[in-house]
Amino acid sequence: MLRVHRPKDTGRSLPLVVSFHGGGFFAGTAAQNDWLNSNVAARCPAVVVSVEYRLAPEHQLPQPIDDGYDTVVRLVEDSAHWGIDPASVAVMGESAGGTIAALIALRARKDGPPLRAQVLIYPGTDWTESMTGYSSITENADNPTLSVSRLRAARKLSMPPTLDPRSVSPVKFESLAGLPPTLVVTAALDPLADQGRHYAERLREDGTDARLTCYPRATHTFLSTPGLVPAARPARREIVAFLRSHVHPAPPS
């Protein structure tokens, strides 16, 4: 199932942004990101497709990632039907959806399709045993929007015993070179803040253009709660501006 946001009456092919919701791989729905996705579609402008990927425990990793990658490939292959420019594609995800987006970018650098950008919003980048060893986990352990117990439950429900957790932990990949320009959005009160920060640092070390923004007084999921967290609006503006600058090619000089 796909949830599609498309500007009205554009009369031309538009960039494609494929979006992935959060929920620890076992919860969540594409509709929870309508506030962000519809705005990106209107103001970028772009066709934003949000994916209802399969969820654990019935469908454990890497099935959600395969769903995401297969969706990107099929949309690009049928670009005329969707009214999209197959040469101007980006991925975007929040929390576990950020994991999916990051892993799709890592796969696409070798197998295609080429991506223009990736936006990772408070992403989970480490699903190994070290996932709870970051300082932000300790500092924000009791945060009501994402508790440590929920993180552990996500890992237990989504990770089959035969899967190497490093294969679904972007920060554990040996090389992060050759990836598209990246925006990592984190929240200062989020247990996952250091996972996002560390991933941005790794990207830069390996030569990938990466921007990191940490919003103060913001919690995990804050872009889904704009009425409660004022930082959601400037964060959304930053995401739109970043995507616009990368998915719309500059006019010839």
* Catalytic residue of the set 50, 95, 158, 169: 95
* Catalytic residue of the set 50, 79, 126, 190: 190
State residue 125 phi and psi, 5-degree precision. Answer: -115, -5
198 is catalytic: no
* Catalytic residue of the set 158, 220, 224, 246: 220
220 is catalytic: yes
Q: Residue 17, exposed/middle/buried by CB under 10 A (0-12, 13-18, 19+)?
A: buried
Count each helix (H run) and each strand (E run) in the chain, helices first: 8, 7
67 is catalytic: no
Which residues participate in catalysis according to the annotation?
A: 95, 190, 220
